[in-house]
Amino acid sequence: MDKFVIDGGLALKGQVAISGAKNSALPVLAACLLTDEPVVLHRIPRVVDIRTMQKLLAYMGAAVTEEGTNTVRVHAANISRPEAPYEIVKTMRASSLVLGPLAGRFGSAKVSMPGGCAIGARPINLHTAGLEQLGARILQSHGDIEASAPDGLRGATVHFDRITVTGTEDLMMAAVLARGETIVENAAREPEVVDLANLLTKMGARITGAGTSSIHIQGVEKLHGAEHEIIPDRIEAGTFVIAAAITRGDVLVTGCEPEHFQSLIVKLRQAGVEITEPEKSVLRVRAGAALRSIDATTEEHPGFATDLQAQYMALMTQAEGIAIVTERIFENRFMHAPELARMGASIRIEGRQAIVAGPRRLSGAHVMASDLRASASLVLAGLVASGETIVDRVYHMDRGYERMQEKLAGLGARIRREKSNA
C-alpha cells in the first residue's frame, strides 16, 4: 500500500492538463456491451476504476485492447458470461452500470449487489425499479440481482423518485434497445449523462433531452460500432483549481470544460480567488489576497458537486470567517473533517452540516484517506500545511485521479509516493 509524503507551504505555479472524466468513461465502457461491433474510446483516464471496468468487460467475454496511452478498443461480439461477480463489484460499485446494457441486449443479466460504502448506503433500488418498468423481472437472491426479459424490454415512462446519476445512465442504456419509447423523468443532468448519450447516438441510438431532467429514448433494433472522445474530468479540474487557490499560486488548468463546474467557479470567485479564461478550455487561477468564507450546499448538477465538497472544505479552512458546508447527496461524506482537524482545522459537524472556522494554520500530520475525494482534500491540506504531511491509503486516490502526484509535482509541489505499512 502506498502513501503520499508532502512537504507543504509552496505556491503552485505552472500548467496542468486535465484527463478524461472517470465518471464518464465508466458508463461509456459499459455501453460497449450494447453492440457486437468494436467501439474505440479516446481520452480514457488510466486509473484503477477504469482498469476494473475493463477487467469486468473482459471477464464477460469482450475483447478489450489498450491502444496507445489513453485509447481503449472494446469489442463485445461474444459475451459468454453476462454477469458481474462479487469479486469485481465489491471493489467498484459502478460495476452495476452493466445491468442496463446486458438486460437491453441479452434480456438477461446478473450483477452482485453492491454493499454500502464509506460515503453512504448507496442502494441501487432505483436502477432495478426502472428496469422493472421496462418489463424486466428482477430477482434478488444470494447477494445477486438478476434481471431477465426473455422477450426483450419495452419502452415505458420512468419517473425517478430521486435524481440518480448512474441510475439514469443504466436506464438509458437499457432503453436504447427496448421496443418503443422510454421517457426518463427526474433524470440526472450531469455532463457525464450527456457524454454517454452522445456516444449512444453515434452508435445509432435515438435519444433527445440528455442534459435536461426529461430524456426521451426511441428504441432501435441494433446498435453499431463508433469512435468517441471522453469529456474532461470536471472533478479533477475543480481539484486543481482549488489546489492553485489554497496554495495562493498561479496555475493554468488546461483542457478543461469550465461550463461543467461553474458552481464551483462562482463560489471561488466569491471567496476572492481570481479565475479567468484566457482561452477556450483554459482557466487561469490566482489567489493572492485573503480568502473569504463562503457557504456551499451540495446538489445535483448543475448545483455544487458532492465530489468537490471535501476539497472545498479544505480550502475553507484557509478562508476568513465561518463557512457552512452542507452535504445533501450522501449521508456520510464528512470523513475527511476529523482528519483535517488533526492538521489544525476547526470543523464542527452537525448532522449534514460542517461548520468550518478559518483561517487556521495547518500543520503537517499523518492522516488517513477514507475515499477518493476525501483523499484529495487531505492532499490539498498537505500542500498548504507547514512541515510534512503523510496521506495514507493513496489507493483511494489511484482509483480516480490520473497521475495526481506527477501533475502536482509538475506544478512545483514537493510530493512523493512511498510504500506504507498502514
Active site residues: 117
CB 214 within 8 A of CB 189: no
Among 293, 306, 311, 375, contact with ligand EPZ (rule: CB under 6 A): 306
CA distance 408 to 416: 10
**Interacting residues with ligand EPZ between 368 and 387 (CB under 6 A):** 372-373
Among 28, 79, 94, 207, contact with ligand EPZ (rule: CB under 6 A): 94
| C-alpha grid cell, residue 356 | 468550518
DSSP state of 97: G
**CB-nearer residue toward ligand EPZ: 168 or 318:** 168
Integer CA distances (angstroms), 293 to 28, 110, 221, 271, 316, in order = 38, 48, 54, 6, 6
CB 54 within 8 A of CB 80: no
Which x/- pattern over 102-141 shows residues binding ligand EPZ (rule: CB under 6 A)? ------------------xxxxxxxx--------------
**CB-nearer residue toward ligand EPZ: 83 or 233:** 233
CA distance 353 to 358: 16
Among 400, 401, 408, 413, contact with ligand EPZ (rule: CB under 6 A): 400
CA distance 158 to 284: 42
**CB-nearer residue toward ligand EPZ: 373 or 407:** 373
**CB-nearer residue toward ligand EPZ: 233 or 365:** 233
**CB-nearer residue toward ligand EPZ: 101 or 400:** 400
**CB-nearer residue toward ligand EPZ: 115 or 123:** 123
Report the candidate in 241, 236, 135, 126 with the shortest Cα–Cα distance to residue 187: 126
**Amino acid code (one letter) for 3:** K
CB 244 within 8 A of CB 286: yes
**Interacting residues with ligand EPZ between 23 and 52 (CB under 6 A):** 23, 26
- Quote the least distance from Cβ 361 to ligand EPZ, whole Å: 29
Sheet bearing 282-286, strands edge to edge:
13-17, 250-254, 282-286, 274-279
Among 52, 70, 164, 370, contact with ligand EPZ (rule: CB under 6 A): 164
CA distance 91 to 174: 24
Cα angle, residue 191 at apex, residues 176 and 52 outer, rounded to 5°: 75
DSSP state of 114: P
Residue 74, C-beta contacts closer than 8 angstroms, at least 6 positions apart? 29, 32, 38, 39, 41, 54, 57, 62, 63, 64, 65
- Quote the least distance from Cβ 328 to ligand EPZ, whole Å: 9
Report the candidate in 283, 285, 205, 301 with the shortest Cα–Cα distance to residue 245: 285
Query: Does residue 195 bind ligand EPZ (CB under 6 A)?
Result: no
**Interacting residues with ligand EPZ between 165 and 184 (CB under 6 A):** 165-167
**CB-nearer residue toward ligand EPZ: 88 or 94:** 94
Residue 367: φ, ψ to 5°: -125, 165
CA distance 168 to 97: 10
**Interacting residues with ligand EPZ between 315 and 334 (CB under 6 A):** 329-330
Q: Applying CB under 6 A, which residues contact ligand EPZ?
A: 23, 26, 94, 120-127, 162, 164-167, 306-307, 329-330, 372-373, 400
